[in-house]
Amino acid sequence: MFREYVRICVRLSANVAPPPGARRARLECACPARAPALARAAPPSEETMNEVPLKYRVLLIEDDDRLAQLIREYLDSYEFSVTVVRRGDLAVGAVREHQPALVILDLMLPHLDGMEVCRRIRAFSNVPVLILTARSDVYDQVAGLETGADDYVTKPIEPRVLVARARALLRRVQPGASVEAPASETLVFGELAISPPNRTVTWRGEPVDLKTAEFNLLLILARAAGTVLSRDDILKQLRGIEFDGIDRSVDSGISKLRRRFEDASSEPHKIKTIWGRGYLFSPSAWDD
């Protein structure tokens, strides 16, 4: 089995002595025989990064002991509380038990692949999932995001970047809101019913088999029913990125949903296009 090993490369300026706490580190794959002595990189000061409330429970699902220890120690220095699980088949139960604010998930896990772990988590929880893996293939990235991950990061990664990405995901969770999807939260609009906890959709009394990306998009629109959402708004919630003016994935996803719900006319009325602004989920248009 392929094993990942870690070294920390501390890069100091050649001309200016860094102030205390300003060292930078990078998590990399390396052979342990060649790895230098581990040096713990101090976190950046409050002046250099946007702070968010740091009382979050993080579940780290990673089978490499050295990498898991390194990530845990680094996040702990920011007052995150990190629990490590090293097997895929134990990960889903750990999410239920600990109810973390964030899951950091490796893909190459023993006993159960990370993709399947993510899929099972999404069956009952809306907890943000950040995939951290050595798999850099674009197909793996697409599969991970469509399975339900909120972000996909490849190794090696700067620890400060990992913290920044984790914080970006956590900022999208309403303060004080439960990460676990409420069992009673079912959205009903006429003949349409959406169950976030079960990730199921029924229309006209029949189940609708939606792909993960389609369900996520529909849920975002439905939760903002009656409100215009721009492409930028939708992309930030779907994938944590801003609209670059080129990405047409939102438009494509909207088109697929319209076809699913017989709304693919020249003037859609269930999911409306508001020209120059974005899309609007019409709550009163689902009665027929």
Q: What's the pLDDT tens digit per position in 84-117?
A: 999 999 999 999 888 898 999 999 999 999 999 9
Tokens describing residue 134: 């050595």
Tokens describing residue 168: 């970006």
Instruction: Report the distance separating Cα 258 and Cα 182, nearest Å.
Output: 27
What pLDDT digit, counting tens, does each position of 261-283 carry?
999 888 899 999 998 889 999 98
Number of neighbours of residue 201 by Cβ within 10 angstroms: 22
As a whole-number percent, the residues of the chain with pLDDT over 70 amount to: 73
By the 8 A CB rule, do 56 and 34 touch?
A: no
- Stronger pLDDT, 246 or 163, i.e. the higher one: 163
Q: What is the pTM of this model?
A: 0.48
pLDDT of residue 176: 42
Locus of tokens 């293939």: 137
Residue 82's H or E segment, with its range, is: strand 81-85
pLDDT of residue 37: 30
Per-residue confidence at 24, pLDDT binned at 50, 70, 90? very low
Nearest to 170 by CA among 58, 26, 68, 49: 58
Instruction: Report the distance separating Cα 147 and Cα 50, nearest Å.
Output: 30
Tokens describing residue 3: 């094993």
Q: Return the DSSP state at 38.
A: P
Question: What DSSP string runs through 126-181?
Answer: ---EEEEES---HHHHHHHHHHT-SEEEESSB-HHHHHHHHHHHHHTSPTT--SBP
pLDDT of residue 164: 87
Report the SS3 class of residue 188. Answer: strand
**For the chain, what is the mean pLDDT?**
76
Domains defined along the chain, listed by start: 56-173 (3.40.50.2300), 187-281 (1.10.10.10)
Locus of tokens 């300026």: 13
Average pLDDT over residues 53-68: 84
